[in-house]
């Protein structure tokens, strides 16, 4: 059987895979396999190892006549047309759990960096703009003891909440359903969406991308937030109306934003949000810790091999 791997992985992760399968892997360093090549290679492949940088859409499914299993090296699977997969009885696997703590770490790092203007401050030196100590030079928002509002209290949300507890933050959350574990373990308090927006100093978005969450943050939501509020998004760019965010930041309706994800990725330094000094932007690195990425790749391979050999996937997207 043939497997297509759309990203370039270290050989040591491929050893046992290559013993069992014919493998075609991207040769692009830290980038996706070119679309043309993917559409060509997928025609006779049984397995597809993918990630958030590929669009697994109807066009691809129509060419993928032999495809049995898609395994994404990610927790989010909004880049995969699940309906098309279901129609064709193609199994889809993903990698929750192994990236929870790394993504929670990065989310909290971005929260602190945005609140305390860490990246902007580091750039001041690089640009030779450090003239002296100043009483209000590069002053930001405190983190310790503030109120954090987490939208999307899943595994990663709970991970962020645990970190916030260590900073004596009051923890509010909003989620489709109540999360008793979060309420009991860290004393998180459930709030309606609007209430959370009004009361939080740090608003952290961790909801998955679904039709219901599309642009869940737009003009109205930013207007409800405190003018001192810091907005953090490490989920998916499509959850946020970027034009509305730009306007809110420019008009100082909210104080700053820390963003690891964008509506269309990658973005360049020309992006309107990058023109604002109260934006801290990262290139989608939520789970980018070495051990984590190795664990994600191993789990994604396990899903793929299990599916191709007729066993249950470890984490199947239903
Ligand atoms: C990355 O964004 C993921 O969904 O794992
Ligand atoms: C992902 O692991 C989540 O449920 O937040």
CA-CA distance, 189 to 186, in Å (whole number)?
9
Local confidence band at 211 (pLDDT 50, 70, 90 cut-offs): very high
Local confidence band at 139 (pLDDT 50, 70, 90 cut-offs): very high
Domain ranges of the chain: 2-97+290-308, 100-281
Over range 135-148, report the average pLDDT.
98
Active-site residue, 212 included: no
Ligand with an atom nearest the CA of residue 283:
1
Is the domain covering 100-281 a CATH 3.40.50.150 domain? no
Ligand 2 site, residue 235, Cβ cutoff 6 A: no
Local confidence band at 113 (pLDDT 50, 70, 90 cut-offs): very high
Pocket test of ligand 1: the residue of 72, 207, 209, 287 to mutate, having most ligand atoms within 8 Å of its CB, is 287
pLDDT score at 290: 98
Burial of 48 (0-12, 13-18, 19+ CB in 10 A): buried
Residues whose beta carbon lies within 6 Å of some atom of ligand 1: 52, 74-76, 99, 286-287
Residue 318 CB-half CA count within 13 A: 3
Q: What percent of the chain has pLDDT over 90?
A: 100
Query: Using one digit for the tens of pLDDT, what is the confidence trace for 173-208?
Result: 999 999 999 999 999 999 999 999 999 999 999 999
Catalytic hit among 116, 174, 271, 284: 284
Query: Using one digit for the tens of pLDDT, what is the confidence trace for 142-177?
Result: 999 999 999 999 999 999 999 999 999 999 999 999
Catalytic hit among 142, 181, 185, 265: 265
pLDDT score at 98: 98
Query: Using one digit for the tens of pLDDT, what is the confidence trace for 216-231?
Result: 999 999 999 999 999 9
Given its phi and psi angles, is residue 196 left (phi above 0), alpha (psi -120 to 50 degrees) or beta?
alpha
Pairing type for strands 47-50 and 91-93 reads unpaired
Q: What number does CATH give the domain 2-97+290-308? A: 3.40.50.720
Q: What percent of the chain has pLDDT over 70?
A: 100
Active-site residue, 271 included: no
ipTM over 0.95? The verdict is no
pLDDT score at 37: 98
Pocket test of ligand 2: the residue of 177, 208, 315 to mutate, having most ligand atoms within 8 Å of its CB, is 208
Query: Using one digit for the tens of pLDDT, what is the confidence trace for 248-306?
Result: 999 999 999 999 999 999 999 999 999 999 999 999 999 999 999 999 999 999 999 99
Asked if 2-97+290-308 and 100-281 have one fold, the answer is: yes
């Amino acid at each position: 059987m043939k497997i297509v791997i759309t990203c370039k992985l270290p050989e040591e992760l491929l050893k046992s895979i290559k013993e069992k399968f014919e493998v075609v892997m991207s040769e692009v360093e830290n980038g996706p396999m070119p679309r043309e090549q993917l559409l060509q290679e997928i025609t006779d492949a049984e397995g597809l190892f993918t990630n958030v940088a590929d669009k697994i859409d109807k066009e691809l499914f129509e060419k993928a006549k032999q495809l049995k299993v898609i395994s994404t090296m990610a927790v989010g699977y909004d880049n995969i047309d699940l309906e098309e997969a279901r129609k064709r009885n193609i199994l889809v696997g993903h990698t929750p759990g192994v990236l929870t703590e790394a993504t929670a770490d990065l989310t909290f790092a971005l929260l602190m960096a945005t609140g305390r203007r860490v990246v902007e401050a580091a750039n001041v030196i690089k640009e030779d703009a450090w003239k002296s100590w100043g009483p209000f030079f590069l002053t930001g928002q405190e983190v310790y003891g503030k109120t954090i509002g987490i939208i999307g209290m899943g595994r990663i949300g709970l991970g962020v909440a645990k970190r916030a507890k260590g900073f004596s933050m009051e923890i509010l959350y909003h989620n489709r359903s109540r999360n008793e574990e979060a309420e009991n373990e860290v004393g998180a308090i459930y709030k309606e969406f609007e209430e959370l927006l009004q009361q939080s100093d740090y608003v952290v978005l961790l909801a998955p991308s679904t039709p219901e969450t599309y642009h869940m943050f737009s003009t109205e939501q930013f207007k409800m937030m405190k003018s001192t509020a810091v907005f953090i998004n490490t989920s998916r760019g499509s959850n946020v109306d970027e034009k509305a965010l730009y306007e809110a930041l420019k008009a100082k309706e909210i104080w700053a934003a820390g963003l690891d994800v964008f509506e269309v990725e990658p973005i360049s330094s020309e992006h309107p949000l990058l023109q604002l000094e109260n934006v801290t932007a990262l290139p989608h690195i939520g789970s980018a810790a070495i051990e984590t990425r190795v664990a994600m790749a191993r789990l994604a391979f396990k899903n793929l091999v299990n599916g191709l050999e007729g066993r249950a996937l470890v984490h199947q997207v239903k």
